[in-house]
Structure 1
Protein backbone atom coordinates (compact mmCIF):
# COMPACT_ATOMS: atom_id res chain seq x y z
CA UNK A 1 0.00 0.00 0.00
CA UNK A 2 1.56 3.25 -1.16
CA UNK A 3 -0.56 5.89 0.52
CA UNK A 4 1.10 8.76 2.38
CA UNK A 5 -0.02 7.13 5.60
CA UNK A 6 -2.02 4.07 6.55
CA UNK A 7 -5.49 4.22 8.07
CA UNK A 8 -4.23 3.48 11.56
CA UNK A 9 -1.79 6.35 11.35
CA UNK A 10 -4.50 8.64 10.06
CA UNK A 11 -6.71 7.78 13.02
CA UNK A 12 -3.89 8.48 15.47
CA UNK A 13 -3.05 11.68 13.65
CA UNK A 14 -6.65 12.82 13.80
CA UNK A 15 -6.63 12.22 17.54
CA UNK A 16 -3.45 14.24 17.91
CA UNK A 17 -4.96 17.05 15.88
CA UNK A 18 -8.11 17.01 17.98
CA UNK A 19 -6.03 17.41 21.12
CA UNK A 20 -4.14 20.25 19.47
CA UNK A 21 -7.36 22.02 18.52
CA UNK A 22 -8.73 21.58 22.02
CA UNK A 23 -5.62 23.07 23.55
CA UNK A 24 -5.78 25.99 21.16
CA UNK A 25 -9.45 26.61 21.87
CA UNK A 26 -8.92 26.40 25.58
CA UNK A 27 -6.41 29.22 25.46
CA UNK A 28 -8.59 31.34 23.21
CA UNK A 29 -5.68 31.71 20.78
CA UNK A 30 -5.59 31.23 17.01
CA UNK A 31 -2.53 30.19 15.02
CA UNK A 32 -3.46 32.88 12.48
CA UNK A 33 -3.42 35.64 15.12
CA UNK A 34 0.00 37.24 14.67
CA UNK A 35 -0.28 38.85 18.10
CA UNK A 36 -0.37 35.44 19.78
CA UNK A 37 2.26 32.71 20.00
CA UNK A 38 3.57 31.06 16.86
CA UNK A 39 2.43 27.44 17.07
CA UNK A 40 4.72 25.08 15.17
CA UNK A 41 3.93 21.42 14.39
CA UNK A 42 7.03 19.24 14.42
CA UNK A 43 8.27 15.67 14.47
CA UNK A 44 9.61 14.84 17.95
CA UNK A 45 13.21 14.16 16.84
CA UNK A 46 15.12 16.21 15.92
CA UNK A 47 12.69 18.93 14.88
CA UNK A 48 10.86 19.50 18.17
CA UNK A 49 14.16 19.22 20.05
CA UNK A 50 15.69 21.95 17.89
CA UNK A 51 12.61 24.14 18.30
CA UNK A 52 12.63 23.59 22.05
CA UNK A 53 16.26 24.71 22.16
CA UNK A 54 15.23 27.88 20.33
CA UNK A 55 12.28 28.39 22.67
CA UNK A 56 14.32 27.90 25.84
CA UNK A 57 17.44 29.81 24.82
CA UNK A 58 16.81 32.29 22.01
CA UNK A 59 13.14 33.13 21.52
CA UNK A 60 12.63 35.43 24.51
CA UNK A 61 15.48 37.77 23.59
CA UNK A 62 14.17 37.87 20.01
CA UNK A 63 10.67 38.78 21.18
CA UNK A 64 9.18 35.54 19.90
CA UNK A 65 6.46 33.63 21.76
CA UNK A 66 6.93 30.09 20.47
CA UNK A 67 4.79 27.00 21.10
CA UNK A 68 5.90 23.57 19.89
CA UNK A 69 3.40 20.78 19.16
CA UNK A 70 4.68 17.30 18.39
CA UNK A 71 3.18 14.97 15.79
CA UNK A 72 4.45 11.49 14.96
CA UNK A 73 3.12 11.22 11.40
CA UNK A 74 3.97 12.97 8.13
CA UNK A 75 0.43 14.09 7.26
CA UNK A 76 -1.14 16.03 10.12
CA UNK A 77 1.51 18.78 10.34
CA UNK A 78 0.65 19.88 6.80
CA UNK A 79 -3.11 19.57 7.11
CA UNK A 80 -3.00 21.46 10.41
CA UNK A 81 -0.92 24.20 8.77
CA UNK A 82 -3.34 24.37 5.86
CA UNK A 83 -6.42 24.75 8.07
CA UNK A 84 -4.75 27.22 10.46
CA UNK A 85 -4.67 24.96 13.52
CA UNK A 86 -0.93 25.69 13.64
CA UNK A 87 1.01 28.59 12.18
CA UNK A 88 3.94 26.64 10.75
CA UNK A 89 5.52 23.21 10.61
CA UNK A 90 9.01 21.78 10.63
CA UNK A 91 9.46 18.16 9.54
CA UNK A 92 9.70 17.75 5.77
CA UNK A 93 11.74 18.18 2.60
CA UNK A 94 10.96 19.70 -0.79
CA UNK A 95 10.20 16.52 -2.79
CA UNK A 96 7.81 15.36 -0.06
CA UNK A 97 6.08 18.75 0.11
CA UNK A 98 5.74 18.99 -3.68
CA UNK A 99 4.11 15.57 -3.75
CA UNK A 100 1.86 16.38 -0.78
CA UNK A 101 0.63 19.70 -2.21
CA UNK A 102 -0.09 18.07 -5.57
CA UNK A 103 -2.00 15.10 -4.20
CA UNK A 104 -3.85 16.87 -1.38
CA UNK A 105 -4.49 20.27 -2.91
CA UNK A 106 -2.75 22.06 -0.02
CA UNK A 107 -0.83 25.31 -0.27
CA UNK A 108 2.20 24.86 1.98
CA UNK A 109 5.39 26.76 1.18
CA UNK A 110 8.98 26.43 2.48
CA UNK A 111 10.53 29.31 4.41
CA UNK A 112 14.09 28.31 5.30
CA UNK A 113 16.05 25.04 5.17
CA UNK A 114 17.59 24.07 8.50
CA UNK A 115 19.07 20.58 8.44
CA UNK A 116 19.51 17.26 6.66
CA UNK A 117 18.83 13.84 8.16
CA UNK A 118 20.67 11.34 5.96
CA UNK A 119 18.57 8.31 5.01
CA UNK A 120 20.22 5.02 5.91
CA UNK A 121 20.05 1.26 5.43
CA UNK A 122 20.16 -0.63 8.75
CA UNK A 123 20.17 -4.27 9.78
CA UNK A 124 20.28 -6.46 12.86
CA UNK A 125 21.08 -9.52 10.73
CA UNK A 126 24.17 -8.47 8.76
CA UNK A 127 27.05 -6.07 9.30
CA UNK A 128 27.51 -4.97 5.70
CA UNK A 129 25.32 -4.53 2.64
CA UNK A 130 27.47 -7.09 0.81
CA UNK A 131 26.45 -9.69 3.40
CA UNK A 132 22.77 -9.53 2.47
CA UNK A 133 21.70 -12.97 1.28
CA UNK A 134 19.90 -13.79 -1.94
CA UNK A 135 16.16 -13.27 -1.48
CA UNK A 136 16.61 -11.01 1.54
CA UNK A 137 13.72 -8.72 2.49
CA UNK A 138 14.26 -4.99 2.87
CA UNK A 139 11.67 -2.72 4.47
CA UNK A 140 11.15 0.64 2.77
CA UNK A 141 8.82 3.58 3.53
CA UNK A 142 5.48 3.27 1.74
CA UNK A 143 4.88 6.93 0.82
CA UNK A 144 5.88 7.59 -2.76
CA UNK A 145 8.65 10.15 -2.16
CA UNK A 146 10.40 8.30 0.66
CA UNK A 147 10.13 4.97 -1.14
CA UNK A 148 11.77 6.50 -4.21
CA UNK A 149 14.43 8.04 -1.98
CA UNK A 150 15.07 4.64 -0.37
CA UNK A 151 15.44 2.93 -3.75
CA UNK A 152 17.81 5.65 -4.93
CA UNK A 153 19.90 5.07 -1.79
CA UNK A 154 20.12 1.36 -2.62
CA UNK A 155 21.02 2.23 -6.20
CA UNK A 156 23.77 4.61 -5.05
CA UNK A 157 25.09 1.85 -2.77
CA UNK A 158 25.36 -0.59 -5.68
CA UNK A 159 22.75 -2.93 -4.22
CA UNK A 160 20.22 -2.49 -7.04
CA UNK A 161 20.11 -0.55 -10.30
CA UNK A 162 17.24 1.76 -11.22
CA UNK A 163 16.39 2.67 -14.78
CA UNK A 164 17.93 5.88 -16.04
CA UNK A 165 16.08 9.12 -15.31
CA UNK A 166 13.77 7.72 -12.67
CA UNK A 167 12.60 10.49 -10.34
CA UNK A 168 10.84 10.90 -7.01
CA UNK A 169 8.14 8.37 -7.85
CA UNK A 170 10.42 5.37 -8.37
CA UNK A 171 9.00 2.02 -7.27
CA UNK A 172 10.42 -1.50 -7.23
CA UNK A 173 8.99 -1.84 -10.75
CA UNK A 174 11.71 0.61 -11.88
CA UNK A 175 14.53 -1.72 -10.79
CA UNK A 176 16.46 -2.96 -13.82
CA UNK A 177 19.05 -5.03 -11.95
CA UNK A 178 18.48 -6.87 -8.68
CA UNK A 179 21.38 -9.35 -8.48
CA UNK A 180 20.40 -10.65 -5.04
CA UNK A 181 16.70 -10.93 -5.92
CA UNK A 182 15.84 -8.71 -2.97
CA UNK A 183 12.24 -8.42 -1.84
CA UNK A 184 10.74 -5.16 -0.59
CA UNK A 185 8.28 -4.72 2.25
CA UNK A 186 6.46 -1.38 2.16
CA UNK A 187 5.71 0.07 5.59
CA UNK A 188 4.64 3.42 7.02
CA UNK A 189 7.90 5.33 7.54
CA UNK A 190 7.63 5.35 11.34
CA UNK A 191 7.37 1.53 11.36
CA UNK A 192 10.59 0.82 9.47
CA UNK A 193 12.96 0.80 12.48
CA UNK A 194 10.52 -1.43 14.37
CA UNK A 195 10.64 -3.93 11.52
CA UNK A 196 14.34 -4.68 11.96
CA UNK A 197 13.64 -7.82 14.00
CA UNK A 198 11.46 -9.20 11.21
CA UNK A 199 13.28 -8.23 8.00
CA UNK A 200 16.86 -8.55 6.84
CA UNK A 201 17.36 -4.80 6.56
CA UNK A 202 15.35 -1.58 6.50
CA UNK A 203 15.76 1.86 4.98
CA UNK A 204 14.95 4.33 7.76
CA UNK A 205 14.43 8.08 7.73
CA UNK A 206 16.94 9.92 9.91
CA UNK A 207 14.49 11.18 12.50
CA UNK A 208 13.01 7.73 13.07
CA UNK A 209 16.50 6.20 13.22
CA UNK A 210 17.52 8.59 15.99
CA UNK A 211 14.31 7.90 17.92
CA UNK A 212 15.12 4.18 17.70
CA UNK A 213 18.62 4.77 19.13
CA UNK A 214 20.27 4.11 15.80
CA UNK A 215 23.19 6.32 14.86
CA UNK A 216 23.11 7.13 11.13
CA UNK A 217 26.75 8.14 11.25
CA UNK A 218 27.84 4.86 12.88
CA UNK A 219 25.18 2.18 12.34
CA UNK A 220 24.04 2.63 8.74
CA UNK A 221 25.25 0.02 6.25
CA UNK A 222 24.69 2.59 3.50
CA UNK A 223 24.20 6.29 4.24
CA UNK A 224 22.90 9.03 2.00
CA UNK A 225 25.46 11.62 0.92
CA UNK A 226 24.96 15.15 2.20
CA UNK A 227 26.50 16.71 -0.92
CA UNK A 228 23.91 18.37 -3.21
CA UNK A 229 21.19 16.57 -1.28
CA UNK A 230 17.65 17.82 -2.12
CA UNK A 231 16.13 16.43 1.06
CA UNK A 232 16.97 19.17 3.56
CA UNK A 233 14.27 19.75 6.18
CA UNK A 234 12.74 23.20 6.41
CA UNK A 235 10.36 25.46 8.26
CA UNK A 236 7.12 25.74 6.26
CA UNK A 237 3.94 27.81 6.38
CA UNK A 238 0.74 28.19 4.43
CA UNK A 239 1.28 30.31 1.33
CA UNK A 240 0.85 33.98 2.23
CA UNK A 241 2.20 33.60 5.76
CA UNK A 242 5.87 33.85 4.82
CA UNK A 243 5.96 37.51 5.90
CA UNK A 244 4.43 36.88 9.33
CA UNK A 245 6.91 38.65 11.62
CA UNK A 246 6.87 35.69 14.02
CA UNK A 247 7.84 33.35 11.17
CA UNK A 248 10.62 35.69 10.09
CA UNK A 249 12.00 35.75 13.63
CA UNK A 250 11.90 31.96 13.90
CA UNK A 251 13.55 31.52 10.50
CA UNK A 252 16.41 33.76 11.61
CA UNK A 253 16.83 31.91 14.90
CA UNK A 254 16.74 28.46 13.24
CA UNK A 255 19.66 29.45 11.02
CA UNK A 256 21.71 31.07 13.77
CA UNK A 257 25.19 30.11 14.92
CA UNK A 258 23.69 28.95 18.22
CA UNK A 259 21.41 26.45 16.49
CA UNK A 260 24.23 25.23 14.26
CA UNK A 261 26.34 24.47 17.33
CA UNK A 262 23.40 22.78 19.07
CA UNK A 263 22.81 20.49 16.09
CA UNK A 264 26.47 19.63 15.67
CA UNK A 265 27.02 18.96 19.38
CA UNK A 266 23.84 17.01 20.05
CA UNK A 267 23.59 14.84 16.95
CA UNK A 268 27.25 14.26 16.10
CA UNK A 269 26.79 13.91 12.35
CA UNK A 270 23.42 12.16 12.43
CA UNK A 271 21.76 15.51 11.73
CA UNK A 272 23.67 18.00 9.56
CA UNK A 273 23.06 21.78 9.46
CA UNK A 274 22.08 22.96 5.97
CA UNK A 275 22.87 26.66 6.41
Structure 2
Protein backbone atom coordinates (compact mmCIF):
# COMPACT_ATOMS: atom_id res chain seq x y z
CA UNK A 1 0.00 0.00 0.00
CA UNK A 2 1.33 3.42 -0.98
CA UNK A 3 0.61 5.55 2.08
CA UNK A 4 1.67 8.74 0.33
CA UNK A 5 -1.04 8.22 -2.29
CA UNK A 6 -3.83 8.01 0.30
CA UNK A 7 -6.20 10.96 0.16
CA UNK A 8 -7.73 12.51 3.26
CA UNK A 9 -10.95 10.69 2.38
CA UNK A 10 -9.06 7.38 2.13
CA UNK A 11 -7.59 7.93 5.59
CA UNK A 12 -10.95 8.73 7.14
CA UNK A 13 -12.40 5.60 5.53
CA UNK A 14 -9.61 3.49 7.04
CA UNK A 15 -10.41 4.85 10.48
CA UNK A 16 -14.11 4.15 9.99
CA UNK A 17 -13.25 0.58 8.97
CA UNK A 18 -11.20 0.25 12.15
CA UNK A 19 -14.14 1.56 14.20
CA UNK A 20 -16.49 -0.90 12.52
CA UNK A 21 -14.28 -3.93 13.07
CA UNK A 22 -14.02 -3.25 16.80
CA UNK A 23 -17.79 -2.76 16.97
CA UNK A 24 -18.31 -6.11 15.23
CA UNK A 25 -15.91 -7.82 17.61
CA UNK A 26 -17.89 -6.55 20.61
CA UNK A 27 -20.90 -8.53 19.35
CA UNK A 28 -18.88 -11.73 19.88
CA UNK A 29 -17.62 -10.99 23.38
CA UNK A 30 -19.38 -12.66 26.28
CA UNK A 31 -19.54 -11.51 29.87
CA UNK A 32 -16.57 -13.71 30.78
CA UNK A 33 -14.37 -12.21 28.06
CA UNK A 34 -14.07 -8.69 29.44
CA UNK A 35 -11.75 -9.62 32.30
CA UNK A 36 -9.41 -11.77 30.23
CA UNK A 37 -5.79 -10.56 30.33
CA UNK A 38 -4.21 -9.38 27.10
CA UNK A 39 -0.63 -9.09 25.89
CA UNK A 40 -0.46 -5.58 27.36
CA UNK A 41 0.74 -5.66 30.99
CA UNK A 42 -2.12 -5.12 33.40
CA UNK A 43 -4.77 -4.58 30.73
CA UNK A 44 -7.83 -6.73 30.19
CA UNK A 45 -10.01 -6.94 27.10
CA UNK A 46 -12.25 -4.27 28.64
CA UNK A 47 -9.27 -2.01 29.38
CA UNK A 48 -8.30 -2.04 25.71
CA UNK A 49 -11.78 -0.94 24.67
CA UNK A 50 -11.79 1.71 27.41
CA UNK A 51 -8.54 3.08 26.01
CA UNK A 52 -9.94 3.27 22.50
CA UNK A 53 -13.18 4.98 23.44
CA UNK A 54 -11.39 7.47 25.70
CA UNK A 55 -9.41 8.92 22.80
CA UNK A 56 -12.43 9.31 20.56
CA UNK A 57 -14.48 10.85 23.37
CA UNK A 58 -11.69 13.34 24.04
CA UNK A 59 -11.54 14.19 20.34
CA UNK A 60 -15.20 15.20 20.65
CA UNK A 61 -14.22 17.59 23.43
CA UNK A 62 -15.50 15.49 26.31
CA UNK A 63 -13.77 15.81 29.70
CA UNK A 64 -10.80 13.58 30.32
CA UNK A 65 -10.17 11.63 33.50
CA UNK A 66 -9.12 13.80 36.47
CA UNK A 67 -5.40 14.53 36.45
CA UNK A 68 -5.21 13.59 40.13
CA UNK A 69 -6.62 10.10 39.60
CA UNK A 70 -3.91 7.95 41.18
CA UNK A 71 -2.43 5.25 38.94
CA UNK A 72 0.93 5.05 40.70
CA UNK A 73 0.13 1.54 41.98
CA UNK A 74 0.59 0.10 38.50
CA UNK A 75 4.28 -0.79 37.97
CA UNK A 76 3.98 -0.75 34.18
CA UNK A 77 3.12 2.97 34.22
CA UNK A 78 6.51 4.66 33.91
CA UNK A 79 5.80 7.94 32.10
CA UNK A 80 3.24 10.73 32.07
CA UNK A 81 2.10 9.58 28.63
CA UNK A 82 1.33 6.14 30.05
CA UNK A 83 -0.24 7.67 33.15
CA UNK A 84 -2.61 9.75 31.02
CA UNK A 85 -3.71 6.59 29.19
CA UNK A 86 -4.01 4.64 32.43
CA UNK A 87 -6.20 7.28 34.08
CA UNK A 88 -8.75 6.92 31.30
CA UNK A 89 -8.75 3.14 31.70
CA UNK A 90 -8.89 3.35 35.50
CA UNK A 91 -11.87 5.69 35.29
CA UNK A 92 -13.82 2.97 33.47
CA UNK A 93 -12.71 -0.07 35.50
CA UNK A 94 -15.73 0.17 37.80
CA UNK A 95 -18.02 -0.21 34.79
CA UNK A 96 -19.15 -3.42 33.17
CA UNK A 97 -18.01 -4.44 29.73
CA UNK A 98 -21.51 -3.78 28.44
CA UNK A 99 -21.35 -0.23 29.79
CA UNK A 100 -18.06 0.47 28.02
CA UNK A 101 -19.53 -0.95 24.80
CA UNK A 102 -22.52 1.35 25.24
CA UNK A 103 -20.20 4.35 25.56
CA UNK A 104 -18.26 3.19 22.49
CA UNK A 105 -21.44 2.88 20.44
CA UNK A 106 -22.64 6.28 21.58
CA UNK A 107 -19.32 8.04 20.88
CA UNK A 108 -18.27 6.48 17.57
CA UNK A 109 -21.25 7.62 15.42
CA UNK A 110 -20.68 11.16 16.72
CA UNK A 111 -16.99 10.86 15.92
CA UNK A 112 -17.74 9.67 12.39
CA UNK A 113 -20.09 12.61 11.94
CA UNK A 114 -17.44 15.04 13.18
CA UNK A 115 -14.82 13.58 10.84
CA UNK A 116 -17.16 14.02 7.89
CA UNK A 117 -17.77 17.66 8.82
CA UNK A 118 -14.18 18.70 9.44
CA UNK A 119 -12.44 21.12 7.14
CA UNK A 120 -9.50 18.95 6.16
CA UNK A 121 -7.71 21.59 4.13
CA UNK A 122 -5.31 22.42 6.97
CA UNK A 123 -2.02 20.54 7.03
CA UNK A 124 -1.89 20.32 10.81
CA UNK A 125 -4.68 19.95 13.30
CA UNK A 126 -3.12 19.67 16.76
CA UNK A 127 -6.49 20.15 18.44
CA UNK A 128 -7.50 16.77 17.02
CA UNK A 129 -4.95 15.02 19.23
CA UNK A 130 -6.66 14.20 22.54
CA UNK A 131 -3.32 14.05 24.36
CA UNK A 132 -2.14 17.38 23.04
CA UNK A 133 0.65 16.63 20.58
CA UNK A 134 0.76 18.25 17.17
CA UNK A 135 0.57 16.01 14.13
CA UNK A 136 -0.26 16.51 10.52
CA UNK A 137 -3.94 15.76 10.14
CA UNK A 138 -3.44 12.92 7.66
CA UNK A 139 -0.75 11.34 9.84
CA UNK A 140 -2.97 11.52 12.90
CA UNK A 141 -5.73 9.62 11.10
CA UNK A 142 -3.32 6.77 10.35
CA UNK A 143 -2.08 6.79 13.94
CA UNK A 144 -5.64 6.36 15.20
CA UNK A 145 -6.36 3.56 12.72
CA UNK A 146 -3.15 1.80 13.76
CA UNK A 147 -4.01 2.15 17.44
CA UNK A 148 -7.46 0.70 16.85
CA UNK A 149 -6.02 -2.19 14.87
CA UNK A 150 -3.47 -3.11 17.52
CA UNK A 151 -5.88 -2.96 20.44
CA UNK A 152 -8.52 -4.84 18.47
CA UNK A 153 -5.99 -7.61 17.87
CA UNK A 154 -5.10 -7.59 21.58
CA UNK A 155 -8.78 -8.15 22.35
CA UNK A 156 -9.16 -10.82 19.68
CA UNK A 157 -6.17 -12.89 20.81
CA UNK A 158 -7.23 -12.75 24.45
CA UNK A 159 -10.85 -13.70 23.76
CA UNK A 160 -10.17 -16.34 21.10
CA UNK A 161 -11.83 -14.36 18.31
CA UNK A 162 -9.25 -14.15 15.51
CA UNK A 163 -9.97 -11.92 12.55
CA UNK A 164 -9.30 -8.69 10.66
CA UNK A 165 -5.75 -9.67 9.72
CA UNK A 166 -6.63 -9.06 6.08
CA UNK A 167 -7.91 -5.97 4.37
CA UNK A 168 -6.93 -2.34 3.96
CA UNK A 169 -6.41 -1.47 7.63
CA UNK A 170 -4.10 -4.44 8.25
CA UNK A 171 -2.08 -3.64 5.13
CA UNK A 172 -1.80 0.02 6.12
CA UNK A 173 -0.51 -0.94 9.57
CA UNK A 174 2.05 -3.31 8.07
CA UNK A 175 3.28 -0.67 5.65
CA UNK A 176 3.39 2.06 8.28
CA UNK A 177 5.06 0.23 11.19
CA UNK A 178 6.11 -3.16 9.83
CA UNK A 179 8.01 -2.04 6.73
CA UNK A 180 8.57 1.71 6.41
CA UNK A 181 10.28 2.04 9.77
CA UNK A 182 12.70 -0.83 9.24
CA UNK A 183 15.36 1.31 7.49
CA UNK A 184 15.52 3.53 10.58
CA UNK A 185 15.66 0.50 12.87
CA UNK A 186 18.49 -1.06 10.86
CA UNK A 187 20.62 2.05 10.36
CA UNK A 188 19.95 4.16 13.45
CA UNK A 189 18.56 2.03 16.25
CA UNK A 190 20.51 -1.17 15.58
CA UNK A 191 23.39 0.72 13.92
CA UNK A 192 24.15 -2.09 11.49
CA UNK A 193 27.40 -1.69 9.54
CA UNK A 194 27.42 -0.09 6.12
CA UNK A 195 26.89 -2.62 3.37
CA UNK A 196 24.68 -4.85 5.52
CA UNK A 197 21.51 -6.17 3.94
CA UNK A 198 18.76 -7.86 5.93
CA UNK A 199 15.90 -9.69 4.22
CA UNK A 200 12.43 -9.85 5.76
CA UNK A 201 10.27 -12.75 4.61
CA UNK A 202 6.85 -11.84 6.00
CA UNK A 203 3.91 -14.01 5.01
CA UNK A 204 0.83 -12.78 3.14
CA UNK A 205 -0.90 -10.44 3.06
CA UNK A 206 2.49 -8.73 3.40
CA UNK A 207 5.23 -9.05 0.82
CA UNK A 208 8.89 -9.87 1.45
CA UNK A 209 11.28 -6.91 1.43
CA UNK A 210 14.80 -5.98 2.42
CA UNK A 211 16.80 -3.18 4.00
CA UNK A 212 20.34 -2.19 3.07
CA UNK A 213 22.49 0.16 5.14
CA UNK A 214 24.51 2.57 3.01
CA UNK A 215 26.51 5.51 4.38
CA UNK A 216 24.66 5.28 7.66
CA UNK A 217 21.24 5.33 6.01
CA UNK A 218 18.75 2.52 5.74
CA UNK A 219 17.22 1.95 2.31
CA UNK A 220 14.20 -0.20 1.49
CA UNK A 221 14.93 -2.66 -1.30
CA UNK A 222 12.97 -5.34 -3.08
CA UNK A 223 13.34 -8.86 -1.77
CA UNK A 224 17.13 -9.39 -1.87
CA UNK A 225 18.61 -12.66 -3.10
CA UNK A 226 21.70 -12.16 -0.96
CA UNK A 227 21.49 -10.93 2.61
CA UNK A 228 23.63 -11.11 5.72
CA UNK A 229 20.60 -12.26 7.67
CA UNK A 230 17.10 -13.35 6.77
CA UNK A 231 14.21 -12.91 9.20
CA UNK A 232 11.00 -14.84 8.50
CA UNK A 233 7.69 -14.52 10.33
CA UNK A 234 3.98 -14.84 9.73
CA UNK A 235 2.00 -11.63 9.38
CA UNK A 236 0.47 -11.61 12.86
CA UNK A 237 3.72 -12.52 14.61
CA UNK A 238 5.61 -9.76 12.80
CA UNK A 239 3.08 -7.11 13.80
CA UNK A 240 3.15 -8.41 17.39
CA UNK A 241 6.94 -8.06 17.39
CA UNK A 242 7.13 -4.53 15.99
CA UNK A 243 4.15 -3.52 18.14
CA UNK A 244 5.83 -4.65 21.35
CA UNK A 245 3.20 -7.29 22.09
CA UNK A 246 5.49 -10.31 21.83
CA UNK A 247 9.11 -10.83 22.68
CA UNK A 248 11.50 -12.29 20.15
CA UNK A 249 11.86 -15.32 22.45
CA UNK A 250 8.11 -15.94 22.49
CA UNK A 251 7.76 -15.71 18.72
CA UNK A 252 10.70 -18.07 18.30
CA UNK A 253 9.47 -20.55 20.90
CA UNK A 254 6.09 -20.69 19.18
CA UNK A 255 7.75 -21.41 15.84
CA UNK A 256 6.54 -18.16 14.32
CA UNK A 257 9.92 -16.50 13.84
CA UNK A 258 12.93 -17.92 12.04
CA UNK A 259 16.40 -16.46 11.61
CA UNK A 260 18.83 -17.59 8.92
CA UNK A 261 22.32 -16.32 8.22
CA UNK A 262 24.28 -14.06 10.54
CA UNK A 263 22.66 -14.55 13.94
CA UNK A 264 24.50 -11.59 15.49
CA UNK A 265 23.22 -9.18 12.83
CA UNK A 266 19.66 -10.48 13.12
CA UNK A 267 19.73 -10.34 16.91
CA UNK A 268 21.11 -6.80 16.86
CA UNK A 269 18.20 -5.68 14.71
CA UNK A 270 15.54 -7.66 16.56
CA UNK A 271 16.71 -6.19 19.87
CA UNK A 272 15.52 -2.82 18.53
CA UNK A 273 12.48 -4.05 16.64
CA UNK A 274 9.73 -2.44 18.75
CA UNK A 275 8.56 0.68 16.93
CA UNK A 276 5.04 0.99 18.35
CA UNK A 277 5.13 0.51 22.13
The TM-score normalised by the length of structure 1 is: 0.30
Q: Which protein is richer in strand relative to its size?
A: 1
Q: Which protein is richer in helix relative to its size?
A: 2
Query: RCO higher in 1 or 2 (8 Å CA, sep ≥ 6)?
Result: 1
The TM-score normalised by the length of structure 2 is: 0.30
